[in-house]
Chains A and B, each alone.
Chain A
Amino acid sequence: MARPVYFVRRALDALRRGPFVTLVAIGTIFLAVFVTGIFAATLSAAERLLAAWGGEVEISVYLRPGADLAAARQAAAEVAPGRALETVTSAQALERLRASLGDQASVLEGVGDSVLPPSVEVRAPGITLAEARALASRLESIPGAAEVDYGNAWLERLELFLRRARMVGLLLFGLLCGATAILVANTLRLAVYARRDEIQIMKLVGATDGFVGLPFLIEGLIQGMVGAGLAVGALLLSQAALLPRLRGAVALAAHISRPDLLPTPLLLALVAGGAGLGFLASALSVVRFLRRI
């Protein structure tokens, strides 16, 4: 029999012989991966929501008095291809201001139609701050442009908020991974401890550490894959149940789909991470045990 087959058979045999420890290990990895997945999906959803909120960027190019509005629009269309453009004459700008002032519009009485500059407005949904900055910089060069406003003040604040949220998220994610690794290692230590007699007898009859340890590593790998696979399934089910409700509750969530919340690479990473976690936790446990005997 080829040795790898022998070791896999022994690992499967051990899983079968110790169903309680196996279930505890799989359950621990399931919980760890599920919580990690929930966390990643929540972060991903928050980022997506914030991006949808912050991405409704409108860039206004204010023109100098007397500038050719049609030429400016033409130039803006070339600078920002595919973006929705709107030209606003001085009179239209004043009308908008009047409308926005409502009851206090009377303060504008006697103000001439040309007091506000004409402008070209560029709508850029889904744009990032860096892209908005670059687009604004290009729009500054269109003929007659006096000033370009892309709402940088609040966008900068939003970007800062997102950056901090990501950092806190990564920190929490790291802490969660560390805690998970310790939890799983302790659980798998139980599995190793439960078979201490077998290990001692194997060592007694001349088994090398590799011979003793390899089945445990395979066991850890299998338990990790099964636990993580179940967690991924539970995440997908939870997502299918919760996403329609989220869409109903938050208008911005209408754009969110399964790949936004649980992208396939994340799911694959969770399964691989769970398997790796089981493997590493087993390795830690068995190496520590072998050193003691």
Chain B
Amino acid sequence: MIELFHVYKEYTDGPALADVTAHVKKGEFVFLTGPSGAGKSTLLKLIFCAEPATSGQLLVFGKNVAKISGSAVPYLRRNIGVVFQDFKLLPERTVAENVAFPLEVRGLHPREVRRKVSLILRSVGLEHKQLKFPLALSGGEQQRVAVARALVNDPALLLADEPTGNLDPDRTLEVLDLLEGANARGTTVVVATHDRSLLMRYKKRIIALDQGRVISDGDSIRKAAIL
């Protein structure tokens, strides 16, 4: 699903990723962890083609992203759902309109869009709030809307960048349960987080980064959690 071979990413103020080599198989649930500035968000940006790697090879769905033309990137992204810490919802659009975005982009019939939006909102427990605006919802609800938007297209891959960073513990678990549910239905999930409690609670593979380098990769939760 995702293959990184000696990937480097450098910004003008220094390297963000250095010699990162890792593989994520189809159907896996992986935590990406490390302190702030470790390179977690940068790695996710490279995977969904928001930025190019400086060197090395990155394959997503078996395709070398460096060789994907700009016009093909949107079609790759349609298979990737992304969730952010700050939700990235449009405040002047309703919950349903926000969730419908990926479906409209694909050109689905409005009837089909409505059906899928209703289904996904039901699955995240927000069907009754589809006509509300995001700012009328709690932080946890907003993040569930963001998760619904990321999952409404049934993506093969879901990337979440600190999805629980702004949530209290109960809401954090709600969101993580949604991601785990998606993973159980076959979606490969990569979650960037520095929340040690999540690493302890969910027994998943952990790739730990520090200063742009992979320092640990495996199931050794404690080893990563003590960073």
Contact = CB atoms under 8 A, between A and B. Distances in A.
B82 A204 contact: yes
Contacts of A204: 48, 77, 82, 88
A207 B92 contact: no
Interface in A184-204: 197-198, 200-204
B90 A206 contact: no
A3 B107 contact: yes
Contacts of B102: 205-206
Contacts of A17: 92
A203 B104 CA distance: 12
A206 B102 CA distance: 7
Contacts of B82: 204
Contacts of A205: 77-78, 101-102, 105, 149, 153
Contacts of A200: 88
Contacts, number: 44
A211 interface: yes
A209 B82 CA distance: 19
Nearest to B113: A1
A204 B84 CA distance: 11
A206 B104 contact: no
Tell me what chain B mostly uses at the interface: helix, strand, loop, or mixed. Answer: mixed
B110 interface: yes
Given A17-B92, A206-B77, A206-B106, A201 B101 contact: yes
A207 B76 CA distance: 10
A207 B71 CA distance: 10
B74 A206 contact: yes
B88 A197 contact: yes
Contacts of A106: none
A1 B112 CA distance: 11
Contacts of A197: 88, 90
Contacts of B74: 203, 206-208, 211
A20 interface: no
B109 A201 contact: no
A197 B76 CA distance: 21
A166 to B, nearest CB: 47
Interface of B: 48, 71, 74-78, 80, 82, 88, 90, 92, 101-102, 104-107, 109-110, 149, 153
Interface of A: 1, 3, 6, 17, 197-198, 200-209, 211
8 contacts: A3-B107, A200-B88, A202-B105, A203-B74, A205-B77, A205-B153, A206-B77, A206-B102
